[in-house]
A and B are shown apart, each in its own frame.
Chain A
Amino acid sequence: MKHLQAINQKAARIERYVEHDVVALSGRPAGYQAPQQPDGPHIPLGCSLVFSPGWEVDRTGGTAGLCQPVERDLFDCHLGCFWPAHVPDQLNNTPDWTKNCATAQKDWRKLDLIFP
């Protein structure tokens, strides 16, 4: 890297990663074969952040990772997505609705009903 200088040890590791892995891979020489890498955890993209339902397929082309009732009907469906869901109006009336929900994958049970 030219414009950023790695100062601490972590930065040096990131720099090595960027220069050797990412940059080297993007300019693949002829006959280059990608190193075998284990698949990452299955995290559907798009709807993906598991909580924006409504996409047709997940990143593997399947439907298993797409929105399911209840636990996946939480975020985004009231904002950017067509999927109908009964979630509180977080923009105006209940901005703190997800206050206790740090990681929606795990904490969705903490989301409660809203009583006017």
Chain B
Amino acid sequence: MTMRTEVALAAREYHGFEAAGRRFLYMVPSAAVFGLDDTAEAVLDGLAGGKMSAAEIAVGLAGRFAEDEVLASVNELMHVHAIGEADVLQEPMAQQMPPTPFPLTTMVLNVTNQCNLSCGYCYEYGDDKIVDTENGKQSKFMSQETARQSVEFMLEESQDIETVHLTFFGGETLMNFPVLQETVAYARRRAAEMGKGIEFSLTTNATLLRPDIIEWLADNDIGVTVSIDGPKEMQDEFRVFKGGGGTYDVVVPKVRALLRRHRSRPIAARVTLTRQVLDVQRIYRHLTEEIGFWEVGFAPVTTSWTRDYAIGDKGFDTMLGQFNELAEDFLAAALENRHHGFSNVKDTIEEIHKGVSKAYPCGAGLGLRGVSTDGDVALCHRFAGSDEHKLGTVRDGVDHSLQQKFLEEHHLAHKTDCQTCWARPLCSGGCYHEAYTRYGSTTAPNLHYCEWIRSWTDTCLRIYGELAARNPDYLTIFDG
């Protein structure tokens, strides 16, 4: 790229942010993060007013910076595409497709679609369900035979992947404990025979934990995520038994017993935020300091906007404010190399550090598949059992042309609304299931939380910048 100093230049796509008293650029769509020196900063500030040539910029900055320094920094900014020739259009996003068939890395087995609770907001049972698990054609529990076929399917579809992940989901997973036990033993044996590693995890509401189950979880190194919403009054707002009674008093002693015994894998709490349960700070403190979870992840409830528990615009502002406060706590801990269990911020910072730029919001249909109780394979666990989103079965394999079609149709290049958003390398339009619930289509971007995603991404970038400037050693945990 030879620079022509008389050609008009203009800013290209990036998001600028400040951290540790310094300016940074988050490049879009490459997701690179660059720190700016004073010259580069002045060049960008100059271009903020409109297009200018490199020569004009140099004249404007003549009192402050030497001409060759200005031109050198213009050159560097052009190389990383922070600025470009004003009259040259930016190429539209190329639709680069992932290699197919894409190897399977994680499979989620819905071992049952039954649950002993009646959480009001549940997408599996509540108003927003997409699969009729009560009267539909599916079996209510996965059989051992289907589970074994699923394991074979997973090992075959994983191609050359060295370590695969098998996750149990439901319904309430522990309602099918016998199949869990047999499947883990079977999968471990089969993976060893094929020279692969295998890891297990499950999600549970913890009501059915017993001493022998806890022993089994610990002995088998099963990663456990507990769905729990916080202190008693918050947990009991939606997470109730069929009779309507709250679950807090049943769950907490069992969780404490689990945390005491199971030390080999970090145990996480997964909180569903609703309009009624939105006190992020208090929930976090309760679940970590008082109960002892290693990590807490928060997710706003997936629902149509008409529901009473849907989080409205004001609620998203409240949530964002609290996320930001908790993120500051995370930063303070990370600066001293202490652990902090706010997993939302940690996950995002890892993606920022690696410079992830996504064409798809998640692994659904890529390395992730969900399997329903009767062995139907779908995009992810949230679509398992839905005929509309079926890719095949564990017995007969999946139709890779369907998968390819899905990937073509859901590529970020097709999400028109996302093309001008600087947060798209990380968000990529958001959850397919959420989009389906809100807009009736998996291809729709989740426009209801754009503002919130951008604010939250900005917060995470700022925290990343602080860490990069003040304690870069911390970030090495994400290397490799």
Query: Which residues on A are within 8 Å of B, measured CB to CB?
Result: 1-11, 13-14, 18, 22, 26, 43, 49, 99-107
Contacts and interface: CB of A to CB of B under 8 A. Distances in A.
Interface string B399-431: 000000000000001111001000000000000
B76 A3 contact: yes
Contact of A10 (B1, B95, B357, B413): B357
Given A103-B413, A106-B95, A8 B79 contact: no
Contact of B355 (A3, A8, A102): A8
The 7 closest A-B pairs by CB, nearest first: A10-B355, A3-B73, A11-B32, A5-B35, A102-B416, A7-B33, A3-B40
B413 A6 contact: no
Given A22-B1, A49-B92, A99-B416, A7 B357 contact: no
Q: For this complex, into which size category does the number of interface residues on chain B fall?
A: 35 or more
6 contacts: A6-B33, A10-B33, A14-B27, A14-B30, A18-B79, A103-B95
Given A49-B92, A99-B416, A102-B416, 15 more contacts: A3-B39, A4-B40, A5-B35, A6-B34, A7-B24, A8-B353, A8-B468, A9-B353, A10-B27, A14-B27, A18-B80, A49-B89, A102-B413, A104-B92, A106-B95
B354 interface: yes
Contacts of A106: 95, 413-414
Contacts of B92: 49, 103-105
B414 A107 contact: yes
A14 B415 CA distance: 26
Contacts, number: 103
Interface of B: 1-2, 24-25, 27, 30-37, 39-40, 69, 72-73, 76-77, 79-80, 89, 91-93, 95, 352-355, 357, 413-416, 419, 464-465, 468, 479
Contacts of A14: 27, 30, 32, 79-80
Contacts of A43: 91
Contacts of B72: 2-3
B354 A4 contact: no
B69 to A, nearest CB: 8
A104 B94 CA distance: 11
Contacts of A7: 24, 33-35, 464-465, 468
Contacts of B91: 43, 49
B84 to A, nearest CB: 14
Contacts of A10: 27, 30-33, 354-355, 357
